[in-house]
Structure 1
Amino acid sequence: MLPTGGGGGGWGGQEPRLWDRARRRSPLLLLLLFLLHTVRGQESSSFSSPPYGKDGGYHGVPGPGLNVYMSEGEVRRLIGLDAELYYVRNDIINYYALSFNLMVPSEINSLHFTWHAKSKIEYKLGFQVDNPLAMDTSQTNISGQGEIPRSLSELEQEVKSPTSSDKNSSKINFDPVNVAPTTSTRVFYISVGVCCAVIFLVAIILAVLHLHSMKRVELDDSISDSGSSQGLSQPSTQTTQYLRADTPNNATPVTSSSGYPTLRIEKNDLKSVTLMEAKAKVKDIAICRERVTLKDVLQEGTFGRIFHGILIDEKDPNKEKQVFVKTVKEHASEVQVTMMLTESCKLRGLHHRNLLPIGHVCIEEGEKPMVLLPYMNWGNLKLFLRQCKLVEANNPQAISQQDLVHMAIQIACGMSYLSRREVIHKDLAARNCVIDDTLQVKITDNALSRDLFPMDYHCLGDNENRPVRWMALESLVNNEFSSASDVWAFGVTLWELMTLGQTPYVDIDPFEMAAYLKDGYRIAQPINCPDELFAVMACCWALDPEERPKFQQLVQCLTEFHAALGAYV
């Protein structure tokens, strides 16, 4: 199956190798490999358009929503397992399934696949049989080309042996030396196939464990013991091609005072605010609900939703602008509604090019409140990064290291402004940033984040969900927050950028995070991350808050690094 509608170049140099592998393993997988090519093409083409859609946060790149799989009944009929076998699921290709040698019993004369797509995808169908002695050219119940159905449909592939006179007893034998199939060779290849499958499953398990394990990295004693006057990192013994030997902590600070001139320690104990009090705080920015039109659902949680909406101008009904609309479902509790309104006001009244504060609210009686924010058409930064990771193999130039560093500079600029205004964010992370098609990044509040990103928050027995993996040690142990704890979270956010949205400390139990950090361990250096950039992250994770860099120093350091990257390239 070849794509007819865009992005066929996504395979790059891998296409011949995948074709050869399919030929060696099973002619029956050619159909699925054709589908793989279609999904690749769709991903490549969709990346060039603004990535917002119905399945994610402020959202990343949309996909056609393609699913191709064998139903539970079909898998049971073939290999006796009660499970579905997905080859493509929500545009994500299952390479393990494609590599699996599917042994078809001799009494089976047809295979049944279930497929559908949420949006239009055209296909062309073709087959190739490596061993004509084992199987004739396949027949299907669909035409050679057309459009993938939008609803669940069954694709039937006929499996017929040329040596069998009875269509109901067709046989498949895969013989690499082109010998006519016999009972003994069939039993032999079935046995070999079962052994290979067991070995392959063990390999998959080992690979998953390897990918999800983080090597524990102990910070260098010179970093943890150094004072703020010693800078972000010690001069490297190797020749650096990015940063100067003099460090950002020795750079000219914004103010003449030393230490943290705007350091404020706050307890993370949200006061018990009633819904009436929360509404009163935003009454001056309330607008009529009739001016807001809800369009697509960008992200949905247990009780919260984020819509792509349209706001009609109050004076000129012909003028309108796009907005994000945060709201709650009908079954949301009063506490959840109050928390959404309260957390939405975190950045209210602040004006900076890298901040996205609340714009308006709708708090009419009898209706669930709505929170409106300016629209950023590439949506949530975390979802955008993860979508970039999905298409990275197809389009490695989609997002460059220089672009990622530029994003980090913008986040640091926004946080530097908050620090000067003595505002503590407490939940800085990629999930609480948004991005547009010019790669401009803005920091948002954390309203609804606990509901929309539940895997990033954990309760440590105090009945409060907190972003444990992003929190500084003093915040975990003493519940204290300051500009220095925001610097710690910035270091983790920088790590998220360089890993394209991976979850930090994924193999560490949240209840063990405090002990893990006290022992001096930190998340490992990302692959392809320069040592100089990782040194910046490591300095953000100093145990002593006073030893961590200030945001203005981080801005200067990253700006110099960004300029050096441009000169180096």
Structure 2
Amino acid sequence: MVYYNKRKYLSALFFLLKHLIPQPNLLQFSVCRSPLGMSRGQILDEDISASSQWSDSTAAKYGRLDCEEGDGAWCPEIAGEPENINEFLQIDLRSLHFITLVGTQGRHAGGIGNEFAQTYKIKYSRDGSRWISWRNRQGKEVIEANRNAYDIVLKDLEPPIIARFIRFMPVIDHSMNVCMRVELYGCEWLDGLVSYNSPVGQQMTLNGQYIYLNDSVYDGAMKGLGQLTDGMCGLDDFTHSHVYNVWPGYDYVGWTNESFSNGYVEIMFEFDRTRNFTTMKVHCNNMFSRRVKTFQKVVCYFRSESDWEATPISFSPVMDDVNPSARFVTVSLYNHMASAIKCQYYFSDIWMMFSEITFQSGDDPTHKVDDSNTRILIGCLVAIIFILVAIIVIILWRQVWQKMLEKSPLAWFGNCQSFPRPQRIPVSSRCGVWNIYAISYIHIHVYFVYFSAASTNTSSKSPPVSVQEGVPHYAEADIVNLQGVTGGNTYAVPALTMDLLSGKDVAVEEFPRKLLTFKEKLGEGQFGEVHLCEAEGIQDFMDEDFSFDVIENQTVLVAVKMLRTDANKNARNDFLKEIKIMSRLKDPNIIRLLAVCMSSDPLCMITEYMENGDLNQFLSRHEPEGMIALLSNAPTVSYSNLHHMATQIASGMKYLSSLNFVHRDLATRNCLVGKNFTIKIADFGMSRNLYSGDYYRIQGRAVLPIRWMSWESILLGKFTTSSDVWAFGVTLWEMLTFCKEQPYSQLSDEQVIENTGEFFRDQRRQIYLPQPPMCPDPVYKLMLSCWHRNTKERPSFQEIHHTLLDCKP
């Protein structure tokens, strides 16, 4: 045991150091408003230049917002006629940035200066050679600036700029002298997209009204960036816009299939370097009543050097003729390396409209750390290594000499008086040491204990926890994590239970493949796929205790999990174990294993599938009962029906917890909806591209549903029934918001992980999901109890089920 913990912490050290190198993150447009370094000095003097200067004391390097160095600002040497003056202050950001806001200030210099620019223009460049004049969404170039020398004036850039070089160009007349201090606000442009070219957007006539669907902020002739990268997603109704005083259709770039004989629109995207692409997200309009739909299929080609790859990837999203809402369609790019991507989007109706396209890419092995920071980085790493080695020695000393192996390290945090007291260590010293340990322990486990466990296919041990005497607990024993055909774990099973299962025969019958008719692919993973099929006569292969609510001889919708023929031996064994587990699950609110196809490859297991699909999509297509639903004529779900569905989920989880099974991925995407609001819990939501945004990807491999995970699952890698209870609270919140937004949608993935640290510290700074408008107080109180920091104080699923029955509307 000592050796195991030593190896664990040394591995933790390795992973922590590895993760000190910044990783690429998805750009968060709503929070991309940080100062880029003029006022704080991150932008170096050598990266600030100007067309001219009054004197050495008013040079470009003094044009920093809120700074009073030199003579207090950059001031150009003005000569010639005003209309011929092209003075500028130029900033080189060293890489492409997404710039959303600018700030300006005049020269105050402690009261001795009174020069400022009343108006100015901005030019920008991505390569330093081609300069583009910025215009707002109404086509105006001139920006209103300062009215005195000391106030800072901030201006939103609508549309925002994607550039490396920025020039501030004061609009000058000879009535006053001009000086400027400036700041840029935004964040690094992590997409790496340098330009795209696409067919010109077209014009629609609708009820006598012209709808202009052109790319109105496109900044190039053949190559450039525009509305597809401006961070603004179009509204559901394309005739309206977020922006005032613009024409109908402004938010979208759109095309009609009448203009494309080949049936598709081709867009080519060029990037700053060769990247490892994971996904593309396309925001599409789906107002099908106006003959506008998302694309039927997309085919993408990749160019890594000079040649295009011969074999493209193809993706077909599920068509939606029920919900007219605009939506992001996520396309997996399967880690293709490319510097350019060419995609052909096929029409599914007369019109196709996009408002935003973004790309996510993994680590680029050619991306180097800036040499100017290398020495600082090495010094920091050496210091951290020494600190962590000392921490590991202390940990092992505690484990060996004080016999603390059975206790969670978290029991040592928070209150110094609760520590065991060795005779020769003063209390004050001990507290100081363990405060350092506590802080480091969190970081180690964020980056190692959970993440590395989630990204491996082998069985692991969960850290032991204190439990009631005589009560069986999932985390007490070795855990069998089955990879599953789709690359995600199926229900996690205690090793003891797995041993009992392994000695029994599988009580499911062989089903003839010829009686399965393929309908569509639901999802896929590393070792297999999940297909939606129609099964003919499957009623004859079922147990006596199970019956279908269908007419005799009618085909039945089923989900077929299929193992790839080239899957390795471990995946094949996991598949067989998964069949054994699924065959034992018999509950009205758990998806049942109906039959198998084992006589030949590919191996298949056939499970139930509910005709209304998953709960997330089902609720997102509906509205709560009320005036809005009446006015929009949208389908509704009553609160009583929501409550009924939540009670069924609690009942199904009560059954799983009674078997000491831990789901690990409870969410609305993993609950299927049948007739009369029947709910059954499933486990293949992870495999669906539709929900890839719900999972946090670790180094391009493991994916984790962090927005549904308890703090101890993220920080410590502990998965228990109590962590499933936490996920149930989030699932209940999803339902009462009708799945209109992601949990913690205002937080980035990294901020979600940081928030779990606040739950651990429990200093009342943690952020909880807010009470949904239609959620009664007793139900929200139940949610909050599911998110209690102390796992023992969270309710059991039996208690949750009982509470929901008691507060039935």
The TM-score, its normalising length taken from structure 1, stands at: 0.52
Distance in 2 (alpha carbons) for counterparts of 1:154 and 1:438 = 36
2:754 corresponds to 1:512: yes
Q: Which residue in the other structure is 1:363 paired with? A: 598
Match of 1:549 among 795, 801, 809: 795
CA distance in 1, matches of 2:241, 2:792: 51
Counterpart of 1:441 in structure 2 is 679
1:482 matches 2:720? yes
What SS does structure 1 have at the residue aligned with 2:621?
Answer: helix
Q: Which residue of 2 aligns with 1:416?
A: 654
SS at match of 2:531: strand
Cα offset, 1:314, TM superposition: 6.8
Q: Any residues of structure 2 matched to 1:121-200 within 5 Å, and which?
A: none
Identity across matched positions, percent: 23
Which residue of structure 1 aligns with residue 742 of structure 2? 503
Greater strand percent: which structure?
2
For 1:331 and 1:370, locate their aligned partners in 2 and report how far apart those are by CA, in whole Å.
11
In structure 1, the partner of 2:557 is 323
Alpha-carbon shift at residue 419 of structure 1 (Å): 2.0
The answer (yes or no) to whether the contact 1:291–1:314 under 8 Å persists in 2 is: no
Query: Any idea what the Cα deviations from partners look like across 1:491-546, whole Å, max 9, x if unmatched?
Result: 11111111112321331425424313324424332331222211110001111111
**Paired residue secondary structure (1:285):** coil
1:372 aligns with 2:618: no
> Residue 475 of structure 2 contacts residue 719 of structure 2 at CA under 8 Å; is this kept in 1?
yes
- 1:438 CA displacement: 0.7
Q: Which 5+ residue runs of structure 2 have no aligned equivalent?
A: 1-201, 265-285, 292-345, 353-466, 486-497, 542-551
Query: Hey, which of these two has a bigger chunk of helix by percent?
Result: 1
What is the CA-CA distance between 1:486 and the residue it aligns to?
1.6
For residues 298-309 of structure 1, the aligned pairs below 5 Å read 299-301=522-524, 305-309=529-533
Structure 1 equivalent of residue 520 of structure 2:
297
Q: What one-letter code is carried by the residue in structure 1 that aligns with 2:213?
A: M
Instruction: Indicate if the aligned counterparts of 1:33 and 1:98 stay in contact, CA closer than 8 A.
Output: no
Q: CA deviation at 1:434?
A: 0.4
**Contact 2:668–2:731 (CA under 8 A) maintained in structure 1:** yes
Counterpart CA distance in 1 for 2:721 and 2:254 is: 59
- The yes-or-no answer on 1:387 pairing with 2:621 is yes
Give the structure 2 partner of residue 182 of structure 1: none
Name the SS for the 1:404 alignment partner: helix
SS at match of 1:355: coil
The 1:517/1:33 distance shift into structure 2, 3 A limit, reads farther
Q: Does 1:313 align with 2:517?
A: no
CA 1:447–1:69 in structure 2 vs 1: closer, same or farther (change >3 Å)? same
The structure-2 alpha-carbon separation of the partners of 1:481 and 1:348, relative to structure 1 and needing over 3 Å to count, comes to farther
1:70 counterpart = 2:216: no
Evaluate the alpha carbon distance shift between residue 323 and residue 371 of structure 1 in structure 2; reply closer, same or farther with a 3 A threshold.
farther
Q: Is the 8 A contact 1:262 1:420 kept in 2?
A: no
Note closer, same or farther for the CA distance 1:328–1:288 as it changes in structure 2 (3 Å cut): closer
Q: 1:35 to 1:395 in 2, by over 3 A?
A: farther
Superimposed CA distance per residue, residues 361-409 of structure 1 (whole angstroms, 9 cap, x where no aligned partner):
22343x4333311231101111212222599572466012222121111
Aligned to 1:265: 475
* Alignment-derived partner of residue 777 in structure 2: 531
Post-superposition offset of 1:479: 2.0
For 1:348, what is the secondary structure of its paired residue? helix
2:647 touches 2:805 (CA, 8 Å); kept in 1? Answer: yes
CA distance in 2, matches of 1:454, 1:483: 25
Q: Please give the alpha-carbon distance, in whole angstroms, between the structure 1 residues aligned to 2:721 and 2:565.
A: 36
Alignment of 1:279-290 (within 5 A): 285=508, 287-290=510-513
TM-aligned CA deviation for residue 70 of structure 1: 3.3
Q: Distance in 1 between matches of 2:757 and 2:578?
A: 30
Partners of 1:553 and 1:279 in 2: CA distance:
32
**CA deviation after TM superposition for structure 1 residue 113, in Å:** 4.8
Deviation (angstroms), 1:287: 2.1
Contact 2:666 2:727 in 1 (8 A): yes
Do residues 93 (structure 1) and 237 (structure 2) align? yes
3-state SS of 2:532 partner: strand
Helix, strand or coil at the partner of 1:438: helix
Counterparts of 2:575 and 2:214, CA distance in 1: 41
1:114 paired to 2:256: yes
CA distance 1:536–1:337, change in 2 (3 Å): same
CA contact (8 A) 2:536 2:556 kept: no
- Separation in 2, partners of 1:559, 1:426: 25
Choose which of 405, 418, 432 in structure 1 pairs with 2:643.
405
Counterpart-to-counterpart distance in 2, 1:34 and 1:342: 63
Instruction: Report the AA paired with residue 694 of structure 2.
Output: D
2: CA distance between counterparts of 1:401 and 1:342? 39
Offset at residue 550 of structure 1 (A): 1.6
Residue 435 of structure 1 and its aligned partner are, at CA, apart by 0.6
Taking the aligned partners of 1:120 and 1:456, their CA distance within structure 2 comes to 25
Q: Please, which moves more after superposition, 286-295 or 401-410?
A: 286-295
CA contact (8 A) 1:504 1:523 kept: no
Cα pair distance change 1:297/1:154, threshold 3 Å: closer
SS in 1 for 2:677: coil
Tell me which residue corresponds to 2:691.
453
Counterpart of 1:205 in structure 2 is none
What's the secondary structure of 1:484's corresponding residue? helix
Cα 1:360–1:530 change in 2 (3 A) is: same
Deviations 1:321-350 (A, max 9, x none): 413223459697547776666556554312
- Between the aligned partners of 2:225 and 2:618, the Cα distance in structure 1 is 35
Aligned equivalents of 1:29, 1:101: Cα separation in 2: 18
Matched letter for residue 296 of structure 1: K
Q: 1:553: how far off? A: 1.6
Q: For the Cα contact (< 8 Å) 1:360–1:371, is it kept in 2? A: yes
Q: Report the counterpart of residue 85 of structure 2 in structure 1.
A: none
- What code does the residue aligned with 2:586 have? H
Q: Greater shift after overlay, 320-329 or 111-120?
A: 111-120
- Quick check: 1:359–1:373 contact (8 Å CA) kept in 2? yes
Structure with the greater relative contact order (CA < 8 A, sep ≥ 6): 1 or 2?
1
Determine if contact 2:785/2:795 at 8 Å carries over to the other structure: yes
Aligned length: 371
Q: What's the secondary structure of 1:517's corresponding residue?
A: helix
Could you tell me how far apart the structure 2 residues matched to 1:488 and 1:512 are? Answer: 17
The Cα RMSD (Å) is 5.2
For residues 311 and 543 of structure 1, the distance between their equivalents in structure 2, rounded to whole angstroms, comes to 46
Using the alignment, how far apart are the partners of 1:298 and 1:463 within structure 2? 22
Give the deviation of 1:295 after TM superposition: 3.5
Does the aligned pair in 1 maintain the 2:474–2:721 contact within 8 Å?
Answer: yes
Read off the aligned partner of 2:671 and give its amino acid letter: C
Whichever residue aligns with residue 371 of structure 1, its letter is M
Change (3 A) 1:487 1:363: same
